[in-house]
Amino acid sequence: MDLTTRYLGHDLNSPLLAGASPLTGDIGNIRLLEDLGAGAVVLPSIFEEQIEHENELMDRLTTTGIDSYSEALTYFPSAATNGTDPRRYLEIIRRAVEAVDIPIVASLNGITDHGWITYAQEIEQAGADALELNIYFIPATIDISGHQVEQRYVSILKAVKKAVKIPVAVKLNPYFSAVGHMACQLVEAGADGLVLFNRFYQPDIDLTRLTLSPSLELSSAAEIRLPLLWVALLAGRTSASLAAGTGVESADEVIKYLLAGADVVMTSSALLRYGVGHMKVLLDGLKGWLAARDLDTLDRLRGRLSQLNIADPTAFERANYIQVLQGYRGKPVGNQPVSLAPD
């Protein structure tokens, strides 16, 4: 069965990618993911704050006249050895690229277009095949406008694109007034791919201790609906690669995202929950589904249920919401099934 897929200018053996998480920062896991059929691996992010911290450290070293770098680092042990510093990140990229044949996508997480962006060049020099830019910006002050938020995304992307030649995907969030228009602005500014969607950290409140409780919840399959909607709306309407992520628990979610029009599907929570071996479960499930329908490539599947390809495009819009409500009053709901048979 041919599961080859193109993503960010690379030919992949499969459309299933391991998304960014602590699990993908381990070379053993990356090797295993390749063996189990992952098409590519996205490394965990290196954050703007970490890079800025290192830059500050370098400034302090050079301005205090210390000329032996490694010796000087001992003066700042916490920054130099905390396990996630930018130099170690580059080392992980080098080792990952050496260890496997599948593309290694590095991940930069930031919110400004300042000096830290030159680090993207170091990522490229370390051998990363592509870069995922996770712009994790919560406009927490109320005097910033939607237009300013959008401009921030565009200007960060432009700065990164200026710094590197490798393909750059933007991992964006669904909280724009017009997600589609934002996606188009990013593609116009040079995005080679869009990753739908980023999942913002949302703190809870601990009612016993009366504090904010910071915890990162793993996702569930119920969360695929919003990215599924936007993949289906954007598929065929943008020249950028489309990656779908969030809520992939089983092969069902993978197949749904492909039907909606995703080029690739990413999974993080499921691998953290069930272990790296779950990559094979997802791929076997996809292959089984295709085999049961006599499909031997992904072409007959991909995008068949995107908005551009279904008979009733309003099924993705308000009109269908009204139909669904009518369904509660006993009227049948549903649209025409699509055929996967050759045209």
Ligand X SMILES: Cc1cc2nc3c(=O)[nH]c(=O)nc-3n(C[C@H](O)[C@H](O)[C@H](O)COP(=O)(O)O)c2cc1C
Binding site for ligand X (CB under 6 A): 19-22, 44-45, 107, 109, 134, 171, 199, 216, 218-219, 245-248, 267-270, 272
Q: Which is nearer to ligand X, 23 or 72 (CB)?
A: 23
Q: How far is the CB of 13 from ligand X (least distance, A)?
A: 20
Q: Which is nearer to ligand X, 216 or 291 (CB)?
A: 216
Q: Is the dihedral of CA 122, 123, 127, 129 positive or negative?
A: negative
Q: Which is nearer to ligand X, 72 or 286 (CB)?
A: 286
Under 8 Å between Cβ of 106 and 128: yes
Count of CA atoms in the C-beta half-sphere (13 A) of 192: 19
Neighbours of 251 (CB within 10 A): 20
Q: Which is nearer to ligand X, 198 or 307 (CB)?
A: 198
Under 8 Å between Cβ of 96 and 32: no
Q: How far is the CB of 243 from ligand X (least distance, A)?
A: 10
The enclosing H or E element of 320 equals helix 318-327
Under 8 Å between Cβ of 164 and 131: yes
Q: How far is the CB of 65 from ligand X (least distance, A)?
A: 36
Enumerate residues 6+ apart whose C-beta is below 8 A from 322: none
Q: How far is the CB of 216 from ligand X (least distance, A)?
A: 5
Q: How far is the CB of 335 from ligand X (least distance, A)?
A: 27
Q: Which is nearer to ligand X, 22 or 115 (CB)?
A: 22
Instruction: Give the largest CA-CA distance in the chain.
Output: 80
Q: Which is nearer to ligand X, 265 or 295 (CB)?
A: 265
3-state helix, strand, coil in the chain (%, to 5): 45, 15, 40
Q: How far is the CB of 63 from ligand X (least distance, A)?
A: 32
Place of tokens 């930018």: 86
